Amino acid sequence: MFGPDYTAGCPSCSASADGFNGFVIHLENHDVAMTAISRAPLEQTAGLQAPDGWTFPLASSLGSDFNFDFNVSFTEEQQREGTVEYNYRPEAAFEWRVGQEGGHNPWDDDAVSGAGHGRPNET
């Protein structure tokens, strides 16, 4: 939702959070509590609630093992070894995205001329 180095909330996470107010009351009617957790410092996230009208509790996991305890954060070593469990099931080993260190860059392929790909033809 809001990483420690973010300057604004994630648009996708914020859109999801916009719907929380509607169902929190239903959870509370069944003695269930809901709190959104962010990795950013609480002071950074406090400004998100009022402008968007969020009334649900918001907490920070910064400086704690919370995300690791609930299998939603992983070390680079875990990702590379493929020992990640997310949402209570094993996940595949981390794969580099195009343009990241170690990833395959299709622009390096001889078959790509660049035409139509936003890159000028190289001769």
Residues 99-113: pLDDT tens digits? 655 554 444 554 444
| Statement: residue 114 has pLDDT above 60 | no
Average model confidence (pLDDT) across the chain: 74
Q: What is the pLDDT of residue 122?
A: 40
**pLDDT for 27:** 92
Is this structure's pTM higher than 0.75?
no
SS3 labels along the chain: CCCCCCCCCCHHHHHHHCCHHHHHHHHHCCCCCCCEEECCCHHHHHHHHHHHCCCCCEEECCCCCHHHHCCCCCCHHHHHHCCCEECCEECCCCCCCCCCCCCCCHHHCCCCCCCCCCCCCCC
